[in-house]
Amino acid sequence: MSITIENLNKNFGSYKALDNINLEVNSGELLALLGPSGCGKTSLLRIIGGMELADSGKLLFHGEDVQQRDARERNVGFVFQHYALFRHMTVFENVAFGLRVKPKKERHNEAEIKRRVHELLNLVQLDFLHDRYPAQLSGGQRQRIALARALAVEPKILLLDEPFGALDAQVRKELRRWLRRLHDELHITSIFVTHDQEEALEVADRVVVMNKGKIEQVGTPDEVYAAPATPFVYKFIGNVNMFHSRDHAPWAAEHGDAVAYVRPHDIDISRIAQDDTALPVEVKLVRAIGSIVRVEVALDSSSEIIQIELSRERFDSAPLVIGDKVFIRPRQFRVFESGVLNELSAA
Amino acid sequence: MSSFKAHSVLPGFNLALGFTLLYLSLIVLIPLSSLFFKTATLGWGGFYDVATSDRVLASLRVTFTTSFVAAIVNALFGLIVAWVLVRYKFPGKRIIDALVDLPFALPTAVAGITLATLYAPNGWLGQYFAAQDIKVAYTPLGIVVALTFIGLPFVVRTVQPVLADVEAEVEEAAASLGAGRWDVFRRVIFPAIFPALLTGFSLAFARAIGEYGSVIFIAGNMPYISEISPLLIVAKLEQYDYAGATAIAVIMLLLSFSLLLAINALQWWSSNRGAR
C-alpha cells in the first residue's frame, strides 16, 4: 500500500518537530528514515502509525485520508526499539495477541490461530521458543518475536522504530540482512527509522535523509551517498573533507564564498604536483584499518587535517610514512555556495 | 548449610541470616508463641468452648466479612485512584497524592470518631442515608466504611509504582495490533499490575482484621451483629479472662495466617508467570 504525505507539520510547544514534510512511499518498498536524533524521523513514523496526530497536512494510505483513523484501525504493524513485548505472556501468546483481540466475527478459531502463530514463528526461525517468556530471550530474539507479532495481523504497512538500536553490533548486522531478506519475501510497504547510515544504506530501497524536521534528500542509497543534495547529507552520510574557497582549494576559488566537499576516497596522492591546482601537504598519520588505509594530511598553509582513504593495493604501490611531503588533488567533488549546490565536478 | 550458600558472591550471609532469625524471633515469634502458651492453659476442652461459643463465632464472622468487603472496595477504588494519579496531569495532583497517606498518619480513634459523627443518622452524611432508610453508623456497614478508610493507602501505594512502570509503548503496541481500550486494560495492563494489586489487597485485608481504634466508635458494638473480635478480646481482658482473650487471638491468628498464605500463594503463582 502506498503512502502519501503532504505538507505535514507537527509542533511540540514551540519546537518544530516536522516542518512541511512531503513524501511519497511506493507500494512494497523498504524505506529508511535517516537522520540524527531529534530530526523528527520518529515523530513522522508515529504520525503514520497513528500514535500521534499531525498539526496540519495530509496523510493518505493508497489515496485514502487516514488522519481521523485510530492506530487500531489503520492496519499498520509497529515494531519498537525496546521491543514492547507483553512480559506476562509467552512468546506464543505475544504473537497470537493481535489475532485474539479481533472482533468476534473476524476472529479465527483456536486451531487456525495456532497454525498461523507457528507459521510466523517459523518465519522468524524461533518456533522452538514458543513457550518461553520474553525475559528469557536475547535482544535479537525479542525483536524477531516483536516483528512476528506485528506481522500476525497481516498489516498493509510495517513501521519499525530504530528496530536494531538496542542490539550489539554483530546482532545488528545479522538482523538487518535478515530483515532485508524477509522484506524480499513479503513485500510489505515498510518504513524504518534509523540514525545509522550504514544500516540505511545497506537495507533500504530508498533513503530519506532528515534534519531539523525537514527532508534534506530522498534517493536510493547510491544517490544519497554519491550525489548528496545538501552539505548536511554530505556530512551525515560517510566522511567528507571540506575545502573553503577563501583559504585554499584553487578548484573552488572561482566561486567566491563556496565550499568544496570531497570524499576521503576521492583524493589522489602524488609525490609530484599533478597540475597547478594540486595542494602541497604533509603526511601526519597513516593507519591501516582492515581493507583500507587511512591517511591524514595537513595543508602546508594551515593546520587543518584532511582525511584520505586509500585501498590497500594503492597504498602498497606507493607507501607513505609520517612526515612525507606530497601533493593531493581531488578526483571528484561538489561545490556548495552558501549551502546551495553550485557545481558537480569530476576533475 | 554450606551447600546453599556456596554460590553466593554476596558477603555476610551467615551474619544476615542470623540477624534476621533473631530479629523475627524477638519481634514476631516470641510474642506470638506466648499467645499459644497462655491459650494452652485452657486445655483443649476450654479452647474448644471459647472457639465455638456463638458470640465469638459471630464476632469472627463480622470481622472477616467486613474486612474482606473493605479490602475488595479498596482494591477497586484504590486502583482507580492510583490510575488517576499515574496517568493524568491535573492541578492539585500533588495535594491529592499526599491526601492518600492521611489514613496512615491519623490516629485511628480520631478517624473512628469523625466517621461515626459524619455517618450517624443525624450527621452530615448520615442524614441522607437515613432518608433512604440506610443505616451506616452502628451497623456492619459502618465497620466497612471505617475499614475502607484505613486500608485505602495500602492499595494505592502498592499499585502506583507498578502502574507507572507499565511502558506506554506496550499499550501502543497493543493498540497497533487492533486491541480496543478494554482489551488493552484486560489483557495487557491488568495482568501486569495484578500481583501488586493483590499485595495491596492482602495488606489492606490484614490491616482491617486487626483494626480496633477506628471501628469501635462507629460499629455500635452490638454482640452478634456489629461486634468485632478485637473488641471481644479487649472485653475478655477487662474481665481478667486472659486465657480466653488469647484463645480468640489464636483463632484470629490462624485464620489470618492461612488466608495470607493463600493470597501469597496466589500472588506467587500470578507473578511467576513471565516474571523470570
**Which pLDDT tens digit goes with each residue over A103-136?**
888 888 999 999 999 999 998 889 999 999 999 9
pLDDT band for position B26 (50/70/90)?
Answer: very high
Average pLDDT over residues B18-30: 92
pTM attached to this predicted model: 0.78
State the ipTM, two decimals.
0.79
In terms of CA atoms, which chain B residue is nearest residue A71?
B176
Neighbours of A261 (CB within 10 A): 22
Query: Per-residue DSSP letters for B63-88?
Result: HHHHHHHHHHHHHHHHHHHHHHHHH-
Does A286 have pLDDT greater than 80? yes
Does A280 have pLDDT greater than 90? no
Chains A, B: CB contacts within 8 A come to 85
List of chain B residues whose C-beta atoms are within 8 Å of the C-beta of residue A136: 276
Do the chains contact at B172 and A78, CB–CB below 8 Å? yes
Does A279 have pLDDT greater than 90? no
In terms of CA atoms, which chain A residue is nearest residue B275?
A88
Cα gap B162→B155, rounded to integer Å: 11
Does B205 have pLDDT greater than 60? yes
Residue A292 backbone dihedrals phi, psi, to 5 degrees? -120, 165
Q: Tell me what pLDDT residue A300 has.
A: 72
Do the chains contact at B275 and A88, CB–CB below 8 Å? yes
User: Which of A80, A90, A153 lies closest to B177 in CB terms?
Assistant: A153
Helix (H/G/I), strand (E/B), else coil: A262: strand
In the DSSP assignment, the letter for residue B42 is: T
In terms of CA atoms, which chain B residue is nearest residue A159?
B176
pLDDT of A212-225, one tens digit each?
A: 999 999 999 999 98
pLDDT band for position A343 (50/70/90)?
Answer: low
Closest Cα in chain B, distance from residue A291 (Å): 42
Q: Which of A88, A117, A153 is the best mutation test for B, with the most CBs of B within 10 A?
A: A88
Q: Tell me what pLDDT residue A255 has.
A: 57
Domains present along chain B, CATH in parentheses: 44-275 (1.10.3720.10)
Do the chains contact at A78 and B173, CB–CB below 8 Å? yes
Q: Tell me what pLDDT residue A342 has.
A: 64
User: Which of A50, A85, A133 lies closest to B276 in CB terms?
Assistant: A133
B156, burial (CB in 10 Å: exposed 0-12, middle 13-18, buried 19+) = buried
Q: Tell me what pLDDT residue A347 has.
A: 45
For chain A, which residues lie within 8 Å of any Cβ of chain B, measuring from their own Cβ?
Answer: 49-51, 70-78, 80, 82, 84-90, 97-98, 100-102, 133-136, 146, 149-150, 152-153
pLDDT of A3-17, one tens digit each?
A: 999 999 999 888 888
| C-beta separation of A10 from A17 below 8 A | yes
Q: Tell me what pLDDT residue B27 has.
A: 92
pLDDT of A182-205, one tens digit each?
A: 899 888 999 999 998 888 999 999
Q: Tell me what pLDDT residue B250 has.
A: 92
Q: Tell me what pLDDT residue B276 has.
A: 42
Own/partner pairs, A217-223, CB within 8 angstroms, 24+ separation: A218/A23
pLDDT of A136-153, one tens digit each?
A: 999 889 999 999 999 998
Does A289 have pLDDT greater than 90? no
User: In whole numbers, what is the pLDDT of chain A averaged over residues?
Assistant: 87
pLDDT of A300-318, one tens digit each?
A: 767 788 889 988 888 888 8
Average pLDDT over residues B131-139: 86
In terms of CA atoms, which chain B residue is nearest residue A82?
B169
User: In whole numbers, what is the pLDDT of chain B averaged over residues?
Assistant: 89
Average pLDDT over residues B225-232: 90
All cell numbers assigned to B246: 488469647
Does B275 have pLDDT greater than 50? no
Does B216 have pLDDT greater than 60? yes
Does B2 have pLDDT greater than 70? no
In terms of CA atoms, which chain A residue is nearest residue B168?
A84
